[in-house]
Chain A
């Protein structure tokens, strides 16, 4: 466990050094200020649109951050050659995978929580009322999505270079966000072989739509039941575990040779 935590700490240091998160936070702040400065026909007290767009941007920025961090962790070790010194230590490859995942997940989750704090803080200053309970649920479930994205990124980057892994992770997660929730609708129009293929994808790909509580937060519909919350969390953990297991399977027998890693 100590080894996993040490690896996670190294990820934190690396991310903080690169300053990706600060840039996104500043960008979000600028966009929120620009939105707040918009004149809505001279009407006061109209703030929900700022919270809505702010939360949408938080989802997009956390997605970008999760992919960019998750996909470079393993290839970076290989391109720098530090993988040799790392594997020379008593660290198992499974621990390496889990340590990297834990570090990336925790740092992106904290960054996302800060995005939420910024969005909620700014809109509350303008008079918006925050439903705290459902907002906390939304942050936790968003954290589960980040866990899945980073696990998928690690799975792809276990065998591919960072660019290819980022592309595939981006395509997979974008499909899960945008296409998968609408498959039941498309199947009605498609039918036949196409419909069957879509159903296969519906059951195969992760479902991110059940983690999205933005509408409940924005329209103040109150918290979801504990049973539902736990079921969704368990689903998130299961998908994350599957991706991490696949990452480990891909990485455990990977052979590293000096001189062949410059392409990473």
Chain B
């Protein structure tokens, strides 16, 4: 999965409507849509798309969408 597709799927997972506004450098914790519930959605997204079981700490250590992408793909 390339980063472009990842961004689209990320937006879908946490229900961001304006996908065009997102880039690899977007700091996702700052997004209006981001809340404590989003953590659960991201964990589900990683499990379904990458068969990777990540925790809250790993997500909180990520700053940008690209950091999340690296977590998912390496």
Q: Do A and B come from one complex?
A: no
A→B interface (CB under 8 Å): none
